[in-house]
Amino acid sequence: MSKLRGLEFWQDTLRGARYVVAPMVDQSELAWRLLSRRHGAQLCYTPMLHAQVFVRDANYRKENLCCEVCPEDRPLIVQFCANDPEVFVQAALFAQDYSDAIDLNLGCPQMIAKRGHYGAFLQEEWDLLQRMIVLANEKLSVPITCKIRVFPEIDKTVKYAQLLEKAGCQLLTVHGRTKEQKGPLAGVASWEHIKAVRKAVSIPVFANGNIQYLSDVDECIQKTGVHGVMSAEGNLHNPALFEGRNPVVWEMVDEYLEIVQQYPCPLSYVRAHLFKLWHHTLQVHQQLRDELAKVKTLEGIVGVNTELKRRCQEEIANQKEGEKQKGGLPFFHWICQPYVRPGPKETCMENGTHGNGGGTRGKRALEEEDGNLDLLSKNKQKKKLRNPNKSFDPSLKPKYAKCDQCGNPKGNKCVFNLCRGCCKKRAFKETADCPGHRLLFKTKYEKSPLWKNGLTELQETEVTPKEAVVEGNSLHLNQKDATKDFQGLNQKCWPQNAAAGRCSEVMTCLF
């Protein structure tokens, strides 16, 4: 049976899914996908998987996908990051029997994607992307899809989408932000870009960005004409988003923890989900936030969740009639609700800096860091406890002279004013010495002919029936019957005694 394409693939295989849970690293694992499906999600993606690791590591495959087939977890799309056509196809061939499609991640904007050269940092390499999708479309038995970020220019974004469609992409998810829009600079996603792409291609299009409530989903579909809407942050803070509900947090957490017991996952995933779900409550109960960060077992996490639930229920019982929520939240803190990231100006104010004058300073004001231990990060607090005199002011850090070639700290006694790595290369190339780095290429080279000459002469000269005995610094000969050449070197005295010229043993070495 030939694989379905385009709209047929979306309608039949994906069952016309409109409510989609995004691929999220360490967050869209099986337990979370099942929870989301129970509360309105119609299609889920796996976390982004690294294609190269997936190919070479059987344990990685087993842990992330191939451990257990769950009939409830369909339709499912497996997402990979990759930058090599052959590796991408190999990984996809391993995964295709466990999924309904394979997705190529072209939207990750994080620094790890930049270092690994994948995700949104491939969006300028159109020839490479075309080869990857064409090859995958030929080799796989399931459709290939893509998730992209937009360019600042709508026209370029449209051409980008059309290229992917022509190469064989059967479904396109468009995140309406550029790769520079992340963290405090995320801003608002552009539905205009998404709308332009939807009009320009004939394959199904999903929209991603600005989704906090079910009403946002309906509005996005209406304004852009997309076939479905994907949610990431909104889903993490309210798994019932696609139901149009805002339940109490412990309802979602209790259900999630039950699923985790049936389908275990790393404790770090569970902890991260609880930090998201209880985000607003943990701003009120800071002590329990610290406890949640420290617990090392699932039972410990369940205990913290139970205590948070108890405290919230006490607040509800003591709540006065007509009392309104505090902190500018749309609901009370124990209700599942979206989290809005602060913008750059708000972040600067929170960190004790101002947008214009604080550009060179860190996340927190330096004088506050040194004066108040509570304002330090956990890692810096540990360092401060080990060394109370430690300062985190970058202006107090020692200044190192830089290597003339690579910019790393240079050796203080290097004759070339280079770091050790660059110095070693140059000294080897020029057959030179650098006493500062203890590199003696020239000295060794000059000594090597003498050694070779001495070795050759000694091998050619056969010792007469006499043996050399070294006593102190003088050489004496004893009459013996045996004869030996240089290769009969007595290993017991080399190199300490022989080199020092004091050997009490009978030997035939050149010292």
At residue 454, the pLDDT reads 65
Active site residues: 108
At residue 15, the pLDDT reads 96
Residue 149 binned pLDDT confidence (cut-offs 50, 70, 90): very high
Domain coordinates in residue numbering, the chain: 6-246, 366-397, 401-461, 463-511
At residue 456, the pLDDT reads 60
Q: Could you give the C-alpha distances from 412 to 25, 137, 415, 416, 451, in angstroms and in order?
A: 44, 57, 9, 10, 33
How far, in Å, CA of 236 to CA of 28, rounded?
9
Residue 375 binned pLDDT confidence (cut-offs 50, 70, 90): low
At residue 465, the pLDDT reads 44
At residue 183, the pLDDT reads 83
pLDDT at 458 over 80: no
pLDDT, one tens digit per residue, over 288-336 is 999 999 999 999 999 999 999 999 999 999 888 777 777 788 999 999 9
pLDDT at 356 over 50: no
Mean pLDDT of 77-105: 96
Following DSSP, what letter does each residue of 275-331 receive, concatenated? HHHTHHHHHH-HHHHHHHHH--SHHHHHHHHHHHHHHHHHHHHTPPTTPPPSTT-SS
Q: What is the mean pLDDT of the chain?
A: 83
At residue 467, the pLDDT reads 43
Packed helices 298-317 and 267-277: angle between N→C axes, nearest 10 degrees: 10
How far, in Å, CA of 65 to CA of 343, rounded?
36
pLDDT, one tens digit per residue, over 459-494 is 555 444 444 444 444 444 444 443 334 344 444 444
Percentage of residues in the chain having pLDDT higher than 90: 62
Q: Could you give the C-alpha distances from 409 to 418, 419, 420, in angstroms and in order?
A: 8, 6, 9
pLDDT at 457 over 80: no
pLDDT, one tens digit per residue, over 216-272 is 999 999 999 999 999 999 999 999 999 999 999 999 999 999 999 999 999 999 999
CA quadruple 496, 497, 500, 503: dihedral, nearest 10: -170
At residue 252, the pLDDT reads 97
Mean pLDDT of 154-178: 97
Percentage of residues in the chain having pLDDT higher than 70: 80
Report yes or no on whether pTM surpasses 0.95. no
- CATH code given to domain 6-246: 3.20.20.70
